[in-house]
Structure 1
Amino acid sequence: MSKHQSKIEKLIAQLCPKGVEFKELGKVCEPTSNINWQNNVGKTFQYIDLSSVDRVTHAISEVQTVDSDTAPSRAQKIVRKGDVIFGTTRPTLKRFCVIGAQYDGQICSTGFCVLRPDTSVILTDFVFHLIGSSEFCDYVEATQKGASYPAISDNEVKKFKIPLPPLAIQEEIVTILNSFTELEAELEAELEARKKQYEYYRSGLFIFDEKVREETLGDIILSLKTGLNPRKNFVLNTQDANNYYVTVREINGLNVTFFEKTDRVNDEALRLINNRSNLEVGDVLFSGTGTIGRTALVKEKPKNWNIKEGVYVIKPNQKVVDSKFLLFFLNSIIAKKQIENKIVGSPVMSIPMAELKKIKIPVPPIAEQEQIVTVLDKFDALVNDISIGLPAELKARRSQYEYYRSKLLTFPEYAK
């Protein structure tokens, strides 16, 4: 890497010692077009929706095959190999990717801004790395409009001013940054394989012979409650709101994670919510509406947070079932299949509490449950704990990439 950096420094000294020109992104991109479905009757296309683009790997994962009869109204924009597409609906979710050869001439949603770099002045991968930069993210966050459904227009995306170093410098920068993203992709693939192995092994641990009794969830818990929504009860994010208001976004796996954008409530609201939820150590949180089935464990008595309505509080009878054993079971394929069959509602889905209580759970002796938990704790750490193993290495590589991306994409602007 130092070899490439040294070469970049020499090229800068040779080609642009006084800085580089900055241009609006749209000025270095070629025009794009939309499909005329009437002229394409009988033809099929691969349709790239917003959900098709993975927010972590920035690759296209799943597409739909559509034609003039089945294409949704948003299936309009023609993409070409080398285009960079960026999701303009909820843009801070960072859905962006490069279009590969397999999707040349296919269709993407109007929820994307299609950027077609003029490769005589700017490289496709240089645009890709710029779109991922913190500077672009800050610009998008400041420019987007709408509170509940934020979006940024294509025109605003294209107004973002970018540094435009000579192509020789761009090539060296891209070589360095691509080496990070390629390594990251390899680590992601290995981690995904480990997760599948973990899922398979976890499911196997919950298969018992007929000697182990099965109980319904309702029979092995003390209570099943939920939190409280604002409505007439309280207001979110008041000036005196210093406590976290936990939604499905904040619960995942074993942990409750607070974010900068996590809503806040004041002390009175916290008291009202706790009167309903009664959170205690050992409770299992379960998302019962929207994104169903996410979990977390209450590891210590909450002092500055509580939950919204729709996040359920499962209070296990710990003489019968270990809290972690229950949590791990709820994440198993065996439990998920039962849960899926009990989901109701559209478009907002939920699993009623009465139905969740009917989920059947194997209940071996507590000592055996604890042994299973010990094994699954180790597996869970290997695939989820960012302080050890692959997750730690992946986090380190991402941090390195972000550091070098920021450093390599920063140029002084040439004053004409």
Structure 2
Amino acid sequence: MSKLEELINKLCPNGVEFKKIEEVCDNVFAGGTPRTSNKDYYGGNIPWLRSGEINFNIIDDAEIKITEKGLNESSAKWIKEYSVLIAMTGATVARSAVNIKRITANQSVCAMEPSEIVNYKFLYYYVESMYNNIKGMAQGALTSINLSIIKSISIPVPPLEVQCEIVRILDNFTLLSAELSAELSAELSARQKQYNFYRENLLTNDFEKNVKLKDLCDIKGRIGFRGYTRNDLVEEGQGAISFSPGNIINETINYNNCTYISWKKYEESPEIMINNGDIILCKTGSTLGKVAMVKNLPEKATLNPQLVVLKNLKCNSTYLKYIIGGYDFQYAMQAKKGLGSVPNISQKDIGNIEIRLHSPENQEKIASILDRFDKLCNDISEGLPAEIEARKKQYEYYRDKLLTFKELKDNE
């Protein structure tokens, strides 16, 4: 029997009491922002945290500093060391952290100062384990949670001896997991550099001729069509997928979090209906140049105006995907893009970019070699990324198991 089991059997054999966060903390509050137009409020030596800096981490400083005057003349306030923090809005909403030094924060950060009945690290680990549940409570266009939601979250409160033993186990597990993940990440980085080196060499050596992209495929986009409005959007299963740049990850299509449009809107543009084997290319914005080949398409699909599709390919499709993602083609796209505030390249200019073309036999060989290398470096289901993801899931499994308690009933 482990030490933890012995403690539970001795101290709380019938279960543990559950309490709301506001009941286990001396204070639960949000920060504030000194008026940004007043220069006297900024540039001091008081760390002032923003929600974007919260990412399941240990915090001992902040990117921005405010002055004593800024602190005293605003709703910002000191947060005690060893408090638990939660981001209440934005991209990091529901993510948590621990501050090991006194700090201040803006109004998008919730600070929980634990009372003597709860170990701060135990509270952190439990809030971390609740991330998806808390995020699911977010509301509004800014995806926000409020103090009332956080205060009402129920957590188990075992005896402090039990809490401390769980913290000790999770601290050790986290350390070992972090060390292994760091080793795997370093190995992955080295493999990716090696992959990029051989990829460029394979794609640029021993080619037969230069051809323009338009000679190898038909390039189709939403020319002359307006973008989607709210009325065009439908629920999954009620229309067609509309791919966006966010669906392209590591030169593959991610079918999660797709946007769906009505069948009427889908049928508006038959020339850009997507099929397996087509190549999708981003032609505008910060994602200009992202590319992927469509495989295992689950249902009918089209694309939004930020993308073009390459169809009716007259060469190996996988090979062409790697060529387009290579340095020469990407450099040519950047050179031809417009100079406006939002970078953009026309379909005509895309079609006129020249490609160094290998023989059909070499195209197939190169595609096969790079596919194997790409899986090792980028595929979340295989290779090193899969091992890193497996370690993360292992940690989450044992953490959740350790933090699961039977609730103590009033008559027990």
Asked if TM exceeds 0.5, the reply is yes
In the TM superposition, what are the counterparts of 1:49-88 in structure 2 within 5 Å?
A: 49-54=50-55, 58=57, 64=63, 81-88=81-88
What's the counterpart of residue 133 of structure 1?
Answer: 129
In structure 2, give the amino acid aligned to 1:400. Answer: Q
Could you list the runs of 5+ residues in structure 1 that have no partner in the other structure?
Answer: none
Question: 1:165 Cα shift?
Answer: 1.1
**In the TM superposition, what whole-angstrom CA distance separates every residue of 1:154-173 from its partner, at most 9, and x where no partner exists?**
33212211111122111222
**In the TM superposition, what whole-angstrom CA distance separates every residue of 1:162-213 from its partner, at most 9, and x where no partner exists?**
1111221112222333344334433443343344334423432325469776
In structure 1, give the amino acid aligned to 2:274. Answer: L
Secondary structure of 1:186's match?
helix
Partners of 1:222 and 1:315 within 8 A in 2: yes
What's the counterpart of residue 370 of structure 1?
Answer: 364
What's the counterpart of residue 28 of structure 1?
Answer: 24
RMSD between aligned residues: 4.1
Match of residue 319, structure 2, among 312, 317, 325: 325
**Larger radius of gyration between Structure 1 and Structure 2:** 2
**Cα distance change, pair 308–42 in 1 and its aligned pair in 2 (3 A):** closer
Q: Equivalents in 2 of 1:359, 1:123: separation in Å?
A: 61
The number of residues matched between the two structures is 392
Pairing 1:412–2:406 present: yes
**In the TM superposition, what whole-angstrom CA distance separates every residue of 1:340-379 from its partner, at most 9, and x where no partner exists?**
6637665xx4533345556665444444443333332222
Q: Equivalents in 1 of 2:338, 2:377: separation in Å?
A: 28
In the TM superposition, what are the counterparts of 1:2-401 in structure 2 within 5 Å?
A: 6-31=2-27, 42-44=43-45, 48-54=49-55, 58=57, 64=63, 81-90=81-90, 94-99=94-99, 101=100, 104-106=101-103, 108-118=105-115, 120-134=116-130, 137-141=132-136, 143-146=137-140, 148-204=141-197, 205-207=199-201, 208=204, 217-218=213-214, 220-226=216-222, 229-231=227-229, 234-237=232-235, 241=238, 243-259=240-256, 261-273=257-269, 275-289=270-284, 292=287, 293-300=289-296, 303-315=299-311, 317-319=313-315, 322-332=316-326, 342=337, 349-354=342-347, 356-357=350-351, 361-401=355-395
In structure 1, give the amino acid aligned to 2:186. Answer: A
Question: 1:89 Cα shift?
Answer: 1.3
Q: Equivalents in 2 of 1:149, 1:35: separation in Å?
A: 18
Partners of 2:43 and 2:65 within 8 A in 1: no
Q: Equivalents in 2 of 1:340, 1:47: separation in Å?
A: 38
Question: 1:34 Cα shift?
Answer: 5.1
Secondary structure of 1:162's match?
strand
Normalised TM-score (structure 2) = 0.76
In structure 1, give the amino acid aligned to 2:98. Answer: V
Q: Equivalents in 1 of 2:297, 2:394: separation in Å?
A: 37
Partners of 2:51 and 2:88 within 8 A in 1: no
Q: Equivalents in 2 of 1:42, 1:155: separation in Å?
A: 32
Could you list the runs of 5+ residues in structure 2 that have no partner in the other structure?
Answer: none
Question: 1:409 Cα shift?
Answer: 1.7
**Cα distance change, pair 289–16 in 1 and its aligned pair in 2 (3 A):** farther
Q: Equivalents in 2 of 1:79, 1:379: separation in Å?
A: 48
Partners of 1:248 and 1:291 within 8 A in 2: no
Normalised TM-score (structure 1) = 0.75
Q: Equivalents in 1 of 2:76, 2:360: separation in Å?
A: 57
Name whichever of 150-159 and 248-257 sits farther off. Answer: 248-257
Question: 1:404 Cα shift?
Answer: 2.5
